[in-house]
Amino acid sequence: MGTLEPWRKGIATVGALGLAVVLATTPANAAAATGSVSEPIVSGLIGPLGLAVGDNGTIYVAETFAGQVTRVLPNGARSVLYQAVGESPNGVATSFGDRIVITLSIIPEEEAPPTDTTLVQVRPNGSAKTLASLLDHEVANNPDAGQMYGFLNLPDNCAAKLPPELLPYSGIVDSNPYKVAALGPFSFAVADAAGNDIVRVVNGRTTTVAVLPPIPQRITFAAARELGLPLCTVGRNYTSEPVPTDVEVGPDGYWYVSALPGAPELPGYGSVYRVNPQTGAVSLVSRGFSGAVDLAVADDGTIYVAELFGNRISSITNGVVTPVVDVFSPGAVEITSDGTIYATTGVFGPAGDVVIVTP
């Protein structure tokens, strides 16, 4: 590759996904997955990064790369519920009265920063209402402004060999609401992948609940060579942005958050955190994932994690990480009230699917 751009956000900017695909691979010593997946129950999806399943069995898929949300009714009838040119829907969650909420980044052109990032409610007839602007909240507050990222504490002679964007910098103003969880009819939790925080939206009012801690990544010789870094960086840490990708409410009332490190997104640094929604306290549940872009929490507390770059879905039970199934580029995993596990696969394929996972 040799390119150093973009380094700050990784998956927070969809165009940066290619960097992580090159660097992130399944470890050779990973345990074998013992679960299975069904035949596709929905096929032909374009970049299925978001998934929700209603209590009646209706499936909603955020096709991020197509800029649309697809609805599949229990009888198999399929339609595009929401579509808009220049908008990137990342997350979807069921709400009330057959309504859904989606997270959107409004991007005027490829590689350009979003002109707005929003939480939007969509009714069964496809009409939409903006509930909040997450970008407005980010501009007004910049919650991670007090955190430092980049190569910290490098010797001067090594720092002089680096481009400015890899030197220490504080949290910048940026927003990309990635996934959303419905807390109630008018209350939602949102993982802002570019803001590096988890926010709560209640009746249109947005507040910061928690800011995730920076993630230090140890630069190996292979990573330095692939990224075109000077050899003086080998063995040192690049302190990356945490990039929260999903938030779900666990049976204990705590919020669980998946996160991957901002670039260089080396394999094994994806994380799952536990957030106290009352105090904002953040604790690490487990690390070791490659592209943790989504998670689901079962009634017994088992956490399932979609590893986009690891090509698998893994579980966490009592802090132990276990591979569940090997699937190509999974984008989302969800658990219904009856315990059925759904997942999207083929985010990077010519077409993606929705499957049922059996651990």
If 0-12 CB within 10 Å is exposed, 13-18 middle and 19+ buried, where does residue 8 land?
buried
The pTM for the full model equals: 0.92
DSSP structural state of residue 212? P
Rounded to the nearest integer, the mean pLDDT of the chain is: 90
pLDDT the model gives residue 110: 64
User: What are 89-134's pLDDT values in tens digits?
Assistant: 999 999 988 999 999 998 776 666 778 999 999 999 999 999 999 9
Quick one: average pLDDT of 318-330?
95
Kindly state the average pLDDT of the residues 2-22.
Answer: 41
Question: Residue 165: what pLDDT?
Answer: 85
pLDDT classification of 7: cutoffs 50, 70, 90:
low
Does pLDDT of 45 surpass 90? yes
Which domains does the chain show, CATH number per domain?
10-33+43-295 (2.120.10)
Dihedral-angle region of residue 284 (phi above 0 means left; psi in -120 to 50 means alpha; beta otherwise): beta
Binned at pLDDT 50, 70 and 90, residue 8 comes out as: low
E-assigned strand segments in 193-242: 197-202, 205-211, 215-218, 237-240
Residue 16 confidence (pLDDT): 36
Single out the residue of 199, 236, 238 nearest to residue 215, CA to CA.
238
Give the model's pLDDT for residue 28: 41
What percent of the chain shows pLDDT beyond 90? 81
- Write down the pLDDT at residue 255: 98
